[in-house]
Amino acid sequence: MYYKKLNWPTLDSEQHNELISLVKNSTNSKGIGIWGDFYHHYDLPESIRTWCKENLPITDDYQLVLQRFFNVESIPLHPDINRKENFIYLLSESGPVTRWQKRGVILAEVCVPQYQWFSLDVGTPHEVLGLKDDRIAISIFKTVPINKKSL
């Protein structure tokens, strides 16, 4: 299973607005690795972090970030090197397609809907196509030791 819709509680519209305006107004986001020109992480406000820990079935070893892809039309095919599963909650509009493929064979694809928790298999090579605007999401994950075989 490459993706799964999760019946986890959703945030309310006030929280959605807070997170979107945080991204739009932030001056201290962090570019991530070689994708730093189009992929940034933002600190989640403490109130949202607490809400997630109280309302979602996650343990203390999970990391919670607010992420944004911008100025990019697609995210190239890649496996994440230190994560196997990513819980995502899309705050920007739905539209882009997440697609998994191996050796040229398409394994699955999904258009992640807005305001719905999804589990994504990020250890298998995946790409995101059709980005027309910023892609902003809460991302929750556990890091695992880097898998050198997938590099």
**Least distance from Fe ion to the Cβ atom of residue 122, Å:** 5
- Asked if 121 is part of the footprint of Fe ion (rule: CB under 5 A), the reply reads no
- Residue 9 or residue 130: which is nearer to Fe ion going by CB? 130
Q: Which of 24, 34, 35, 7 is closest to 92 using CA atoms?
A: 24
| Residue of 80, 88, 135, 140 that binds Fe ion (CB under 5 A) | 80
Q: Is 14 helix (H, G, I), strand (E, B) or coil?
A: helix
Chain centroid to Cα 146, Å, comes to 19
Per-residue tokens: 85? 């599963």
**Least distance from Fe ion to the Cβ atom of residue 75, Å:** 7
Number of shown-chain residues binding Fe ion (CB under 5 A): 2
Query: CB neighbours of 24 closer than 8 A, spacing ≥ 6?
Result: none
Q: Which stretch binds Fe ion (CB under 5 A): 12-20, 41-49, 97-105, 120-128?
A: 120-128
Q: Which stretch binds Fe ion (CB under 5 A): 38-46, 61-69, 104-112, 114-122?
A: 114-122
- Residue 17 or residue 143: which is nearer to Fe ion going by CB? 143
* Residue 115: C-alpha distances to residues 36, 65, 108, 118 (Å): 25, 16, 21, 9
Which residue has the closest beta carbon to Fe ion?
80
Beta bridge partners of 63: 141
Binding site for Fe ion (CB under 5 A): 80, 122
